[in-house]
Every structure is written in C-alpha cells, then in structure tokens.
Amino acid sequence: MAGSTFGKCFTVTTWGESHGPALGAVVDGCPAGLPLCEADIQYYLDRRRPGQTAISTPRKEADQVRILSGVFEGRTTGTPISLIVENTSHKSGDYQQIASCYRPGHADYTFDQKYGLRDYRGGGRSSGRETIGRVAAGAIALKLLKELGITFCAYTKSIGPVKTSDTVFDKDAIRKTPTAMPDYEASRQAEAYLQSCMAQKDSAGGVIECRIDGIPAGIGEPVFDKLDASLGKAILSIGAVKAVEIGDGCRTALAKGSENNDAFVSRCGRITKKTNHAGGILGGISDGSAVLLRAYIKPTPSIFQKQDTVSQDGENITIAIEGRHDPVIVPRAVVVVEAMAALAVTDLLFENMHARMENIISFYRK
C-alpha cells in the first residue's frame, strides 16, 4: 500500500532504511519559481542530528542532502524534486543482536507480523532515521510558506516532569539548549533529569509544542481533510507520538462553553478573537489566529536495562540492548514536527485556491 506518500496537491514520498545506502524523499506538486538550494534544506536536517550535546550519543551522521532534480538555475521548475542523503555512518555489527528477538516498544514484532520478514539492521524503515526524508521535504514547504508570511516555531514544552515556564519564552534558547526548550532554567532541570535517567539506564518522553503564525483564515477542507485532522495525522505519523492536541486540547474537556468559546471582536475594521482556546481552528478551518498544537512523545524504547521479551522463535528471553541510543528523542523531533506541520499546511493552502468561483474566474482571466 502506498502508505509512504503524504498529501494530495503538494505530496511527499519518502524512502530509505537506517542501514541502506541512502534515504530520501521526492516532493511533487511544488510550484515553479521558488528559490531553492541545498543549504535551505541542510539547515533543517542539521537540526535533527545527534552527537552534539551531553544528552545525545556521539554518532557521526553527516547527513548531507543533495538535490537531484526539480531545480534549475536556483529555482524550482515545478517538476518533482528528488532529495537524497547518503548513509555514511553505521556499523552493521552494532545491531546484530536484534535480528533474533523483538525489542519491547519497537516495531520489530509488528513489521514481522505485517511483512513476514524485516530488515533487522537498526530499525530499518521504522528507524528514527526515516525522519530524514520528512525533514528534507518539510524544509521545502517551510521555505515556500515563509514566502507567504507563514512561520513555524516548534520547541520542547516538557521533558518528563520538567515543564517550561508559561511566562518565560526565550526563542534563542530553542536553538541553543540541548533540549530545544525556550527556557534556559527549565533546560538545566531537564538535563539533570535526563542524566538521572541515563544513570538508571532508562529513558524519558516529553511534549513538543508548535505555533504557526500567519495562516490566513479559510484553510482546511471539511469534513475529512480539516486542518486539525490533517495536522493531527501528520504529527501522529511521526514515530513515538502518542497524542496530539489542538489549541487547549485535553483541557477543553474540563472547560465550560463560556470559558472555552473565543469571542470575536472587531478592531480597526479587522475581525479577530479575544482569546484563542480553539488554537486557531474552527470547524476544521483556520480562523486567522495562531494555530497551536502539541505532540506527546513516549520515552525512547531502547533502554540499557534488562528487559523481558521473546526471541523470533517465540522463546521467552531477557535482553539488554546495546549500541548507541539517546535517552530522549524529543529535542530531535522538534524539527520533524515543524516539517510535518508545514507539509500539511502547504497541501491545504493549495487545495483552498479553488474554494471560490470568483477566485477561479479572476485567476483564469488574467
């Protein structure tokens, strides 16, 4: 099944396994005339790389992207854009252990159940490296949307029990802290928490929040391709994500209507809202306010503690995972959340262009 393509108008098809020669993506439906070069994409890929901080394992992953098609003289041509990142850093020997058992919390078992076989080296297609294609493609969407004044800002909201402040928001800290938190103090606490997890040979989860500014009102296609539903699918498709919130999310279930409704107000001839509990989406369509969403990420399944599991032959065994594993994946997933959100928004922005007869008429009468 074609489960590896996302989108209808602006589509991405990703491919590649953690231990294959390369990974990549093909972006189709990108309009012609967008300035694009490898540096535009590399910027985002670099944000997902480990081995740079105290809380990530020192794996050297160069992950340099090359653009193989769809760009000419510095601009997109409207034809499919093929992106490739060669795998340069892995040792097959690292992962031989898992060929013979099903690691808890990983997709080894389910891939075997589905396909009858699996590439047991690393996680194969279920490896975190699969996000390389998503981020590379998302980088193009992010650039395109920026041209339209639409910007994305994702960051770590919490790691384990450590939350960022609701009053302090330090944008610089997102790129400077190893936790990708917009709060230096919270980051220090989170790092301490992670050190203790590592000492226990354990791992942690966390929450990523993403704010999208500049989406014009009217984006989203009821009733099934609503903006929130499409964003939700995009985010839930990221490995390890176990919940998605839009706006106030889970808290809305506790609120009363008088508390949750966002009152409209007209200021200087523009209609806006007094509050934004809705997170910028009403009836599945953007209302012009900031879109807010949250992704809840489970703790990294690969821990060094002993775990009970079964071998591929069905015997009960105990394993202790080896190799290189981060105690938390949340900071690395921040750019993936931005990328996936951007892909969903771009797709719906294009679909919206034929929502009104008057726009189609003026488009074709030019």
In the region spanning residues 84 to 103, those forming contacts with a copy of itself, defined by CB under 8 A, are 84, 102
Q: How far apart are CA 96 and CA 121, in angstroms?
A: 7
Only one of the segments 41-49, 50-58, 173-181, 232-240 lies at the binding site for a copy of itself (rule: CB under 8 A); that segment is 232-240
252 forms part of the interface with a copy of itself (CB under 8 A): yes
Q: How many residues bind a copy of itself (CB under 8 A)?
A: 168
Which of 46-54, 55-63, 164-172, 244-252 is the region at the interface with a copy of itself (rule: CB under 8 A)? Answer: 244-252
* 74 near a copy of itself, judged by CB under 8 A: no
* Least spacing, CB of residue 50 vs a copy of itself, in Å: 17
Residue 316 binds a copy of itself (CB under 8 A): yes
Nearer to a copy of itself, 76 or 177 (CB): 76
Residues 207, 333, 334, 337: which binds a copy of itself (CB under 8 A)? 207
Tell me which stretch binds a copy of itself (CB under 8 A): 29-37, 53-61, 172-180, 184-192. Answer: 29-37
Nearest of 215, 81, 79 to residue 148 by alpha carbon: 215
- In angstroms, rounded to a whole number, what is the distance separating the alpha carbons of residues 241 and 205? 10
Q: Which is nearer to a copy of itself, 47 or 118 (CB)?
A: 118
At its nearest, how many Å lie between a copy of itself and the CB of residue 290?
Answer: 15
Q: Which of residues 49-68 bind a copy of itself (CB under 8 A)?
A: 66, 68
- Residue 291 within binding range of a copy of itself, rule CB under 8 A: no
| 15 lies in the binding site for a copy of itself (CB under 8 A) | yes
Q: Are 41 and 140 in contact (CB under 8 A)?
A: yes
**Binding residue (CB under 8 A) for a copy of itself from 135, 204, 334, 336:** 204
Give how far Cα 253 sits from Cα of 86, 261, 278, 300, Å.
46, 13, 12, 29
Residue 113 binds to a copy of itself (criterion: CB under 8 A):
yes
Query: What burial letters (b/e) apply to 291-318, b meaning 16+ CB within 10 Å?
Result: bbbbbbbbbbbbbbeebebeeeeeeeee
Question: Is residue 264 a contact point for a copy of itself (CB under 8 A)?
Answer: yes
Residue 180 has a CB neighbour count (10 Å cut-off) of: 26
- DSSP reduced 3-state for 155: strand
Q: How far apart are CA 101 and CA 312, in angstroms?
A: 5
Whole-number Å distance between alpha carbons of 11 and 54:
37
Q: Which of 59, 104, 276, 290 binds a copy of itself (CB under 8 A)?
A: 104
Stretch that binds a copy of itself, among 47-55, 89-97, 183-191, 268-276 (CB under 8 A): 268-276
Least Cα distance to 154 among 130, 167, 135 occurs for 135
CB–CB of 345/72 below 8 Å? no
Q: Which residues contact 358 (CB under 8 A, 6 or more apart)?
A: none
* 353 is a contact residue toward a copy of itself (CB under 8 A): yes
Single residue of 229, 337, 341, 342 touching a copy of itself by CB under 8 A: 229
Nearest to 20 by CA among 121, 146, 151, 138: 121
Residue 342: CB atoms within 10 A of its CB come to: 29
Pick from 128, 182, 284, 331 the residue near a copy of itself by CB under 8 A.
Answer: 284
Binding span for a copy of itself by CB under 8 A among 54-62, 170-178, 184-192, 348-356: 348-356
Burial of 231 by CB count in 10 Å (0-12 exposed, 13-18 middle, 19+ buried)?
Answer: buried
105 touches a copy of itself by CB under 8 A: yes
- Residue 357 sits in the site that holds a copy of itself (CB under 8 A): yes
